[in-house]
Amino acid sequence: MKEMELYELWKQKAVGDPDLVQELTSIAGDEVAIKDRFYDELQFGTAGLRGVIGAGTIRMNIYTVRRATQGYADYLLETFDKPSVAIAFDSRIKSDLFAKETACVFAANGIPVHIFKELQPTPVLSFAIRYLKAQGGVVVTASHNPSKYNGYKAYGADGCQMTEEAAGAVMRKMQAVDVFDGAKTMDFDEGVRTGKISIIGDDLLNAYLDAVAAKAIHHGVGKQAGLKVVYTPLNGAGNVPVRKILAREGFEQVYVVPEQEMPDGNFPTAPFPNPEIRQAFECALKLAEQVGPDILLATDPDSDRVGIAVRQDGEYVLMSGNEVGALLFDYICSQRIANGTMPKDPVAVTTIVSTRMTAAIAKKYGVQLIDVLTGFKYIGEQIGLLEKKGEDDRFVFGFEESYGYLAGSYVRDKDAVVGSMLICEMAAFYKQQGRTLYDVMQDLYQEFGFYKNAVDSIVREGAAGMAELQGIMEKLRKNPPAQIAERKVTGIADYQQSTDTDLASDTVNVIHLPKSNVLCYRLEGGAQVIVRPSGTEPKVKIYYTAKAPTSKEADEITEQLKASMNTLLS
């Protein structure tokens, strides 16, 4: 069915949400606007759904949410005898509405639903699935995307985001569901009255916080050091749990950014609510001028990522996800060894695009380091494999460069609540020694070398944009570069083809990881460039790695790589 026919169908049938009716009316006669809403359908992948909120087959709305949920319900009923699900949501626009619509479809299909009464971090949903022994779960969130986006993350019985196999099965079932008439549904209040939908109580939330607190290494060090913290939840779900866990661990001087304290999906003071960028810290930095904290914390709207800035010589320096990951890894290893709690044969997991300093740290402390594809579900999968052997206590740390951290196996996703607690604990521990986290990071650079990492993105919206992004990856595969920034390409790993080619010896090795649309170029001198489409946003991401004897040299190499890739892809 062509875009205009779909548009007319939606004008006729999409009457359950007044916002959709108004939007469809407003774009009458605008062929470009109509095409951008109907040129494709939202795809159900391992990250579930994600898209701009609004009318159309490629938008997030009650109809695309119902359709996806019916496909997921059909999959669960086919796979399990008596499945149940847990549902959570964050502060985004229509998150609570989409969560209720999701609950109503599951309940109408005879699947018992456990839903939170108020917004919760994504990791709490992962915890809830395991705590309630559910067979699946959904959290309605678009993570750190701008306010016009929302999403639908689907989880399996292990508390991890869906595997590719399961997501493919759901997608096939979803495609068989008519977007308007194919999904079963019922009234939410009726579902609650009849017991088909139950509200999750405080016992689960308290159990989650207990599990987080159990990962602390030096209890009470925050109070002893007098650490002062400025915290912003960026109008998201971290406000309550992060403040609760910091209070439990003795951090008494926590100042919350007032403009960003309460839930607000419009993100009025942070249009890009992403702790990876400095703009997200602007309000926190203003508050810092008044209270003079040791550290600034920012969690994204669904509180699975956390970023920091550290006071150094009177200014606040933002630290990257790779730097914080390296700091936490070194701190956890050194202090667990020091207090005798390091397990035998410890394991850490990171992703192929994260800093390679982790390999050097792992070697120092005798930790087995496992590299996985980008996406925290792959880290969670490794924890699950350890659990099957009764060895999940061997897992000490997992992280990815995009500000996601996890210590412990109580959840299977990145967790900004435990990340915030451990970062503050670490900062307090080193403060007692007269050192900041910036100081400690410089020591790690001196010990292991200056590993510098940077990320660029090529963003393209709409139908034409998606085609252009696909063309970038096709171009690189058909015409691989022989050199980047005058550095010879010595090896190419193509994770979609599962091949790793050493160009010097002309040998090809098999990559034993799931297939993924990722290209990795190894260069002379230890530099590296990785290119991959984002799984959740309309962009291609380019990851740069450089290692040099000094920070200045590493920065220069990174800039040279960026300039070369910009020319190559222009």
pLDDT in tens, 242-288: 999 999 999 999 999 999 999 999 999 999 999 999 999 999 999 99
Whether residue 362 is predicted with pLDDT greater than 80 in this model: the reply is yes
pLDDT in tens, 181-227: 999 999 999 999 999 999 999 999 999 999 999 999 999 999 999 99
The DSSP bridge pattern shows strands 487-494 and 315-319 to be: unpaired
CA dihedral 130, 134, 139, 144 (to 10 degrees): 30
Quick check: 86 and 125 in contact, CB under 8 A?
Answer: yes
The DSSP bridge pattern shows strands 519-523 and 487-494 to be: antiparallel
State mean pLDDT over 483-491.
Answer: 94
Domain range annotation of the chain: 3-200, 209-448, 450-569
Do 3-200 and 209-448 have matching folds?
yes
Q: Return the bridge partners of 139, or none.
A: 88, 153
Nearest to 144 by CA among 545, 562, 462, 534: 534
For the segment(s) 450-569, the CATH number from 2.70.98, 3.90.1720, 1.10.357, 3.30.310 is 3.30.310
User: Does 143 participate in catalysis according to the annotation?
Assistant: yes
Which tokens sit at 200? 């999750």
Q: Return the bridge partners of 452, or none.
A: 546
Match 């779900």 to its residue by tokens.
237
State mean pLDDT over 17-38.
Answer: 95
254: part of which helix (H) or strand (E)? strand 253-256
Q: Is domain 209-448 annotated with CATH 3.10.20.30? A: no
d(CA 130, CA 535): 25
Q: Is domain 3-200 annotated with CATH 2.30.30.90? A: no
d(CA 561, CA 545): 9
pLDDT in tens, 134-144: 999 999 999 98
Quick check: 122 and 86 in contact, CB under 8 A?
Answer: no
Q: Which of 91, 126, 143, 402 is catalytic?
A: 143
% of the chain with per-residue pLDDT over 70: 99
